């Protein structure tokens, strides 16, 4: 099995703390800078006593709340200790895993850990799905995992692409797992849950999570929407009580925070435009368009290690991307944060150019 470790994920500020005097700004993990929603901490506090009992093993209230947010029935909802456990559990239910690279490393890793055959296809030059390769590769019993928007590329499938891919999946009797942990950051010209509802999600599941948009990576709340049959299969294999009581409580609160949701969408959209525009002006980098809250950047004059250290010296932690299969040491990824931080990032890039 290929070796994976912590370096394959962002957010590891603790490791680099000693290398900078002051607080490091973390551009390596992609968390909404406005969250979590107001009032959540008070809500959690008022529910501390729930820690003394097991959470409802069926998570009835939580699933109801998620169903309302996702606009599906609570019977369609499955849960996980973060999106990554949902990915793991779905992969466990299938024979082979098909992934497109570059993408989130855990798709392949969980396949390997669970002893599944992992088929690695490559996104095309524009980082889009190669439909022909998919059609040639996908077989009955496969699970196809696609990030939408995809991490680290930031691109989202178009509505027609999803429908085309789902067509192939149905035809081959395979299964489509859309990892939409970054859904709310994208311009919602379509909602894949609405899109696949007409087929009762028969051969599909769509993962969402509280982690990124609701700024709660520490609370571990992932959820997904799938067919009732598949949700039954999922329940047969999932670990009991995998959602802790604080995540259970949060999941019954945050989706009602409509102001927070609206404000965040507008804010991230504005900052995305700002950062894309400012970074695009610079010569030493190529900036990829994004529909998420992070930006993939190709370094034209340096490698990721040089830039990583250069930025760390300024208190900025970025994500090196050579650990993503399909990318090399000339790529980095940066999160879209608040304006002040984003300006620091732009300034650091400008200074880098003059080195």
Q: How far is the CB of 134 from a second copy (least distance, A)?
A: 27
Strand order in the sheet with 331-335: 285-287, 294-299, 331-335, 319-320
- Report how far residue 180's alpha carbon sits from residue 103's, in angstroms, rounded to the nearest whole number: 12
- Report how far residue 17's alpha carbon sits from residue 221's, in angstroms, rounded to the nearest whole number: 27
Q: Could you give phi then psi for residue 152, rounded to 5 degrees?
A: -100, 10
Nearer to a second copy, 166 or 324 (CB): 324
Q: How far is the CB of 205 from a second copy (least distance, A)?
A: 18
Q: How far is the CB of 232 from a second copy (least distance, A)?
A: 10
- Report how far residue 298's alpha carbon sits from residue 72's, in angstroms, rounded to the nearest whole number: 39
User: Closest Cα partner for 183 from 200, 170, 169, 195?
Assistant: 195
Q: How far is the CB of 35 from a second copy (least distance, A)?
A: 7
Q: How far is the CB of 175 from a second copy (least distance, A)?
A: 18
- Report how far residue 115's alpha carbon sits from residue 112's, in angstroms, rounded to the nearest whole number: 5
Give the strand pairing for 204-209 and 175-179. parallel
200 contact partners, CB below 8 Å, separation of at least 6 = 227, 228
Nearer to a second copy, 11 or 164 (CB): 11
Nearer to a second copy, 50 or 303 (CB): 50
For residue 230, what are its two tokens?
């598949």
Nearer to a second copy, 92 or 330 (CB): 92
User: Closest Cα partner for 336 from 283, 282, 289, 281?
Assistant: 289
Nearer to a second copy, 21 or 236 (CB): 236
Q: How far is the CB of 130 from a second copy (least distance, A)?
A: 28
Taking a C-beta distance cutoff of 8 angstroms, is the pair 35, 213 a contact?
Answer: yes
Nearer to a second copy, 6 or 355 (CB): 6
Please give the C-alpha separations between residue 188 and each of 139, 185, 265, in angstroms, as whole numbers. Answer: 31, 8, 10
Nearer to a second copy, 146 or 243 (CB): 243
Q: How far is the CB of 84 from a second copy (least distance, A)?
A: 6
Query: Which residues are near a second copy by CB under 8 A?
Result: 1, 3-6, 9, 11-15, 26, 29, 31, 35-36, 41, 44-45, 48, 50-58, 60, 81-82, 84-85, 88, 92, 106, 113, 115, 215-220, 235-237, 239-242, 244-248
């Amino acid at each position: 099995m290929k070796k994976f470790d912590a370096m394959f994920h962002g957010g590891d500020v603790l490791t680099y703390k000693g290398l900078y005097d002051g607080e490091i700004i973390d551009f390596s993990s992609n968390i909404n800078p406005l969250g979590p929603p107001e009032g959540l901490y008070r809500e959690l506090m008022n529910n501390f006593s729930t820690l003394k009992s097991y959470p409802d093993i069926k998570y009835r209230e939580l699933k109801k709340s998620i169903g309302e947010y996702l606009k599906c029935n609570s019977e369609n909802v499955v849960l996980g200790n973060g999106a990554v456990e949902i990915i793991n559990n779905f992969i466990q239910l299938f024979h082979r895993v098909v992934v497109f690279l570059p993408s989130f490393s855990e798709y392949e890793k969980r396949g390997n850990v669970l002893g599944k055959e992992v088929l690695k296809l490559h996104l095309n030059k524009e980082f889009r799905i190669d439909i022909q390769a998919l059609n040639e590769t996908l077989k009955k019993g496969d699970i196809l995992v696609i990030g939408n928007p995809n991490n680290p590329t930031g691109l989202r499938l178009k509505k027609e692409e999803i429908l085309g891919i789902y067509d192939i999946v149905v035809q081959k009797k395979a299964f489509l797992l859309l990892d939409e942990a970054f859904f709310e950051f994208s311009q919602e010209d379509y909602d894949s849950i609405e899109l696949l509802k007409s087929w009762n999600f028969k051969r599909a599941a769509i993962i969402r999570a509280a982690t990124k948009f609701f700024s709660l990576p520490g609370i571990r709340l992932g959820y997904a929407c799938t067919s009732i049959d598949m949700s039954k299969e999922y329940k047969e294999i999932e670990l009991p009580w995998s959602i802790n009581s604080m995540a259970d409580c949060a999941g019954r609160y945050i989706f009602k925070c409509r102001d927070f949701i609206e404000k965040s969408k507008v804010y991230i959209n504005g900052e995305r435009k700002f950062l894309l525009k400012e970074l695009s002006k610079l010569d030493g980098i190529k900036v990829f368009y994004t529909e998420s809250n992070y930006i993939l950047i190709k370094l034209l004059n340096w490698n990721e290690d040089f830039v990583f250290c250069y930025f760390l010296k300024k208190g900025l932690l970025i994500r090196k991307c050579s650990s993503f299969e399909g990318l090399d040491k000339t790529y980095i990824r940066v999160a879209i944060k608040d304006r002040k931080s984003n300006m620091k990032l732009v300034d650091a890039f400008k200074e880098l150019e003059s080195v």
